[in-house]
Amino acid sequence: MSKNDMLKEIVAKKKEKLAFAKIQLPEEELKVKAQGQPATRPFIKAITKERQISLIAEIKRASPTHGVIRESFDHKDIAKIYQDAGVQAISVLTEEDYFLGNISFLNDVKSATTVPILRKDFIFEPYQVYESRCFGADAILLIADMLTQETISGLIQVATSLGMDCLVEVHTEKELKKVLKLKEVQLIGINNRDLHTLEVDPKTTERLYTLIPKGKPVVVESGLRSRQDVSFLKILGVSAVLVGSVFMESENIRAKVEEVMGW
């Protein structure tokens, strides 16, 4: 399949993996397990602070655009560095084929930190929401591009019933309109990256942010690399930024976090 539709390719692989996971652990068993988990850490509350911009720092080993980003990769060590640097939340990429993640990273990162943990993956059915809760996620990412309005609503209901928050990500005006019609969406993410072509356009945020009702918290994702980028978004009124690659590429993660965030 051509690189022109990366999202389709990733989702097709994910569906195969999911079919296998369901054989190993049926949904009914997973539901019971999910109900018995300790209380979640409040994600939205952690990243929406008055007059400041919060950081959701991401742990990822690789990406479809750059291949392996960090050779010496220890997700637990990275989590501790992020925690010590004062991040408000941590995003963990759990997709296996293109980002070299693993769902087990969630529990590892959770036990190494005290901040809320976001599972970043390609989630399209309730099984994955229960799975996220069982492995320690406090919040999940939902990608509007790959989900119908009805599916988004249903997945948020499942997540809410388990005490988890949802970050609903959009990239176009059409996707944003779809999401704004849903009352249950409490947190919107603007992704500057087109998930089909993988190209990044920072102007995406400028176009979409003004269309979101004031008071609705917004997270900006992709292509953020400098203090200047973050300062601009803070002035705009954005609640939080999700940043990964620039930290993963850095020799000194903590120093890079402080530099980018101005801490």
- For every residue of 143-197, DSSP letters joined together read EGGGS-HHHHHHHHHHHHHTT-EEEEEE-SHHHHHHHHT-TT---EEEE-B-TTT
Please pick, among 131, 169, 192, 245, the residue that the annotation labels catalytic.
169
Spatial neighbors of 90 by CB under 8 A, at least 6 apart, are: 56, 57, 58, 59, 79, 82, 83, 109, 113, 115, 116, 117, 118
CATH of domain 3-36+43-261: 3.20.20.70
Res. 4: pLDDT tops 90? no
Vertex 205: Cα angle to 204 and 206 (nearest 5)? 95
Whole-angstrom Cα distance, residue 237 to residue 51? 8
221 is catalytic: yes
Please pick, among 120, 132, 239, 256, the residue that the annotation labels catalytic.
120
Please pick, among 54, 63, 91, 222, the residue that the annotation labels catalytic.
222
Please pick, among 221, 239, 245, 256, the residue that the annotation labels catalytic.
221
Q: What is the pLDDT of residues 88-136, one digit of tens each?
A: 999 999 999 999 999 999 999 999 999 999 999 999 999 999 999 999 9
Give the H/E segment covering residue 222. none
- Domain ranges, ordered by start, for the chain: 3-36+43-261
Query: What SS3 class is residue 72?
Result: coil
Whole-angstrom Cα distance, residue 175 to residue 170? 6
Whole-angstrom Cα distance, residue 128 to residue 121? 9
58 is catalytic: yes
Q: What is the pLDDT of residues 191-247, one digit of tens each?
A: 999 999 999 999 999 999 999 999 999 999 999 999 999 999 999 999 999 999 999
Find tokens 């220890």 and name the residue.
74
Centre a 10 Å sphere on the Cβ of residue 223 and count the other Cβ atoms it contains.
18
DSSP at 125: S
Note if the pTM is more than 0.85: yes
Contact 122, 11 (CB under 8 A): yes
Beta strands in the chain (DSSP E): 54-59, 62-63, 67-68, 89-93, 117-120, 139-143, 165-170, 188-191, 218-221, 240-243
